[in-house]
Structure 1
Amino acid sequence: MHVRWVEGGEKFSARWRSESGAPPPAEIVVVDDGLTADEAHRLANADKAMLWRGDFQNARQLIKAVTRRADRSGRRHAPKSPVEAFYLHRQRQARRARLLGKLLVPMETGYVVPLRRAPDVREACLAAYGPDSEPTVVSLREMLGVIGAHEWRINGVEVPGLDGRIHPHYGVFAPVRGEYVELVARAPLPSRELAFDIGTGVLAAVLAARGVESVVATDLDPRALDCARDNLDRLGFGDRVRLERTDVFPTGRAPLVVCNPPWLPAKPTSPIEHAVYDPGNRMLKAFLDRLGKHLAPGGEGWLVLSDLAEHLGLRSRDELLGAFDAAGLSIVDRLDTRPCHPRASDPDDPLHAARGVEVTSLWRLAVG
């Protein structure tokens, strides 16, 4: 897909790039440092995209100012229930993303940004997008995400339960919530022979670090698999973990099957949100319904799941326990922990009432 605009009386076009799947803007106006935050907010609300030709650092300041205006205008009324608070929060997030996505920056072939004081984004864009062959236009919001993700990839994220660092790739969810990793790091292993990691991420490395001789890790997302391979090789576990691109389970049975599915039953709006939102509990139900067919006799399935959805009114505890029963699964034990990330104690977070009482659990499940 391409975008088109008129600049200096001439017609131009470039490839449109959007990892979130946003459609190309129908109307583009060319702007520069003379654009005020109020005018930018007005143009974005009028569904007009703005192609930036000014100073790159000024554009960064402008998008912060537009963010503040978008947040203020999005606060209409107080929610009446936790579930209403959740959906209002999602609506505000979507509206903010739509507005901020209207500020665009050009990139020449080779990911060169032809703006004053623009950073060198070539390495970051190549890692995120792969090779390019033509000029492109991308939202400044996405470009800043690409830059930030590349910094994370270079520096890595310390994972206490792993005693090592994970280097997340762009578009792959980073293990910033270490409490769930620590649950897997301390739960009693039923076997060290073989384990399946469903929806691979950091947990395959944790299992290998605990001495599991062979791990089969699955995912459908090529980026997640590439990221896992990179990190497993960095950590020295590459020879003990086999990655398989498949939906949920690999073939065969294992004495231990681990799954950390997306925790909230809602629709994702971007590729990376698939790690957080699970429409209709699809992955959760698939894991539970098919777990018995992939557990070796006497084996355990470990389900790592937050109860945030319960506090938000998106799923009840009775529904979860009923899903265990329907799948013919019994509870061997449950390990609990509380989150320690900043939002859990932030009273200004729109979901604070639910986050403040959230508990993350590792459910040890068995057949029968």
Structure 2
Amino acid sequence: MARASFAWDNQPNPLARTLRTLFDTRVLRVARVISTTDGPGPSLGYAGPPDGITKLLKMIDRQRERMGADTLRHDRADVRAGRIFAARELPDADLVAVTGTPAQLAALPAGPALLLPYRLHALVETGDPAWRGRVSRSERQWAQPRIARQGLRIEQAYDDASFGFFFDRVHLPTMRNRHGDRARSESRLRAYEGLFRPGALLFVTNGRQRLAGALASCSADGRRLTPRLGGVLEGSAQLHSAGMLRLLYFLLLDWAERQGVARVDLSGVEAWVASGLYGYKRRFSPQLEPPPDHRANLAVWWHARRDTPQVRDFLVRNPVLERTGAGTLRAVYFHDLRRPARHDIPFACANVRERRDVDLDDFLADVPTGVDIV
């Protein structure tokens, strides 16, 4: 049952992907959530499949908290999908993200809004020996001496005891210590049945001790490796601050190349390029591609419902990736007379090079200050 549940959430089969999308966006009720703050930030709204509360809304919450505005609470209601996509029950928030299929989102007002990918996966072509040269120079100069000095290497494990060690002493403590109630993970049974049994369990070891680890899924042909769960021993703050998870990624790529794995999927990122996860994964110059599961069928309508100083601050500080009419990705940087575009926040990846700047006075022209447009 656990394996079937995992497959339902991560199935690459086209028919299964279509069915899952149909259930999530048309059959089942969708979540409508308003995230409020008592600090200097905008209220945030989300509507769509509940998966997006964890994968999208909580990430945007973190970006708002970086502005000094702590999240006060989430107010959730489950509503009929049709009422969301008819713009009848949108979240009453300053900035709103609605997740659905592109066809559903096309029925929502065209502006002021952007169409963003719901989820992207960052892939490194380890079958091409030139992958190392594409990793940022600073990352290579940081990682390689530390790996050599500490004698670090990848060790693959196959036994149940090693799975238990990883899940209980590496993964769970790390998630608990680093993310608290925002932790995103799998249950122990789903991790065992859906990842460990068909996948690969990999540890970073110095020859004496396992210091970090990752549980990865493998494609049916063995040519694609996707680390899904990870962590450091006992969730150690010392190992984390020493960059052990950064070293884990670098070692995984090296190991994958030696094992003949053509592509390492560094897993998901969202379209907000100022997030720490996006910023870190782009150091490996990955290709950004749709995920292999049903989430590839989804997009995000990113909408400014009110024009306030807090909305403008947030949009300027958080550039995004939009889908162009040609289906490519393009970075969008907002600005106005008082707030210059934050070009110091890098976005470029192997297949993402284009950007455009958007004047907020134009973007928000039809939004009365502090008043709903929809």
Same fold (TM > 0.5): no
Tell me which interval the TM-score lies in, with the shorter structure as reference length.
Answer: under 0.3
Q: Which has the larger radius of gyration?
A: 1
Between the two structures, name the one with larger relative contact order (CA 8 Å, sep ≥ 6).
Answer: 2
**So what's the TM-score if we normalise by structure 2?**
0.23
